[in-house]
Amino acid sequence: MSKILVTGGLGYIGSHTVVELQDEGYDVVIIDNLSNSSIEVLSRITSITGVKPAFEQIDLKNKEDVKQFFKKYTIDGVIHFAASKAVGESVDEPLKYYENNITTLTYVLKEMTANNVKNFIFSSSCTVYGQADELPITENAPTKPAESPYGATKKMGEIIIEDTTKATDLNAIALRYFNPIGAHETAKIGELPLGVPQNLIPYVVQTAAGIRECLSVFGDDYDTPDGTAIRDYIHVVDLAKAHIVALNRLLKNENKAKCEFFNIGTGTGSSVLDVINAFEKATNKKVNYKTVDRRAGDITSAFADTSLANKELGWKAELSLEVALASSWKWQESL
Ligand code: UD1
């Protein structure tokens, strides 16, 4: 049974991935500093899978703790989620982002190579493409200058990892997520709300729940069929499963390059109004909304060409937008 380190394993995508790993029989050890997660998630994961994952409360900024961790455990692969992810905050506190997302990455990679741990999966983002010139977006689309320090850490992270694979025995896969949404069907884990939501789906759900008065639709004058911006919303459980197949590929030495990049999305673009309509259909709840100005830094349209992941990983998103939105609602109700 391979032992897999999941950093940020109590976070939103991390916790769903831990569940899928355990379901596949992997032995999981989680590192999390609880900066944007709750220790309660550990028992919730346990109640879904019946197996309590090992847990170390470590802040990856503490180099010595990272070193000691890799002395204590014999690890076969690492899935690295731990990072800060609020775009707006990253503009105000860039150094926090460079330290949390880049310094920590170098510490993890350094200890991996020092301890002969060869398999690494990285949480990247479609943000590396910016507004792509062609849609759907393939992995060959050029990366664009980052719109924020957060985006810059994802671009730099990919470069640091690829350089490391060139110089060492490390093999890596960077998964470029489109927009992750939804929650586990048990409603035991999901995205923990923290203050006023910045992302669309948490805002939609809280508006339907009466926590927020009215959703602001940021712009209806985009060059899209209904004027609102288009994204590729992927169910977090489908996304979690992509990590398992990517990990299997590395563990079985089936990767075709030392560092590979895959788009992880559904391949379908949905506008903001599509999302509102799908949510209302899936839940029978009304969403109050009004149109306001565009949000600075937003792009018009992004959705994935997923054929590379379909072909090479044998992975495909299976859950619909409605199913994802219904699961977000069920999660909200459980809160
Ligand atoms: C954002 C980040 C992206 C990050 C991702 C993580 C920005 C500019 N981009 O993606 O880098 O990887 O989150 O999940 O922040 N919208 C509304 N009203 C709202 C909230 C959003 O109309 O209250 C619209 C947005 O304008 C956008 C769409 O909904 O068109 C999706 O927004 P959001 O959920 O914030 O995701 P992204 O901006 O695509």
List pLDDT tens digits, range 221-234: 999 999 999 999 99
Token pair for 255: 């990767």
Query: In this model, does residue 284 exceed pLDDT 90?
Result: yes
Query: Whose CA is closest to 86, among 132, 148, 32, 159?
Result: 148
The verdict on residue 298 lying in a domain is: no
C-alpha dihedral sign at 198, 106, 72, 172:
positive
Ligand 1, atom 26: closest residue by C-alpha: 218
Å from CA of 205 to ligand 1 middle: 15
For 40, the domain range is 3-183+233-265
207 within a domain of the structure (yes/no): no
- Largest Cα–Cα distance of the chain, in whole Å? 56
Q: Which residues are catalytic, by number?
A: 150
Q: Residues lining ligand 1, CB < 6 A?
A: 87, 125, 127, 151, 179, 198-200, 203, 215-218, 229, 231, 272, 295, 297-298
**What's the pLDDT tens digit per position in 42-83?**
999 999 999 999 999 999 999 999 999 999 999 999 999 999
**What is the predicted pLDDT for the residue at 193?**
80
Question: Is there a domain that residue 199 lies in?
Answer: no
pLDDT of residue 18: 99
CATH number at residue 110: 3.40.50.720
Closest by Cα among 69, 93, 87 to 7? 69
The chain-wide mean pLDDT, for the chain, equals 97
Residue from 295, 300, 301 to probe ligand 1 pocket by mutation (most atoms less than 8 Å from CB): 295
CA distance 276 to 322: 10
**What 3-state DSSP class applies to 120?**
strand
Q: Is residue 201 part of a domain?
A: no
CB 36 within 8 A of CB 10: no
Average pLDDT over residues 121-148: 96
- Note the pLDDT of residue 66: 98
Q: Is residue 59 part of a domain?
A: yes
Cis peptide before 136 (omega within 30 of 0): yes
What is residue 194's predicted lDDT score, i.e. its pLDDT? 84
Separation of CA 299 and ligand 1 centre (Å): 9
Domain count along the chain: 1
C-alpha 89 to ligand 1 mean position (Å): 14
The residue with tokens 């049974």 is 1
Q: Does position 289 have pLDDT exceeding 90, yes or no?
A: yes
Higher pLDDT, 324 or 193: 324
Q: How much is the pLDDT for 112? A: 98
**pLDDT-derived band at 142, boundaries 50, 70, 90:** very high
| Mean pLDDT calculated for residue range 233-254 | 98
Element (H, E) at 215: strand 215-218
For residue 23, being part of any structural domain is answered with: yes
Report if residue 323 sits inside a domain. no
Structure tokens given for 62:
């503490």
Long-range (24+ apart) CB contacts under 8 A made by 21-24 are 21/79, 21/243, 21/244, 21/247, 22/49, 22/51, 22/53, 23/49, 24/244
- For 153-157, what is the mean pLDDT? 98
Distance 36 CA to ligand 1 centre (A): 19
In a domain, 134, yes or no: yes
Torsion over CA of 127, 133, 136 and 138, rounded to 10 degrees?
Answer: -70
Q: Whose CA is nearest to atom 7 of ligand 1?
A: 87
For residue 324, name the pLDDT band (cuts at 50, 70, 90). very high
Atom of ligand 1 nearest to the CA of 126: 12
**CA 297/CA 293 separation, integer angstroms:** 12
Our mutation pick for probing the ligand 1 site, out of 179, 205, 294, counting the most ligand atoms within 8 A of Cβ, is: 179
Q: Whose CA is nearest to atom 6 of ligand 1?
A: 179
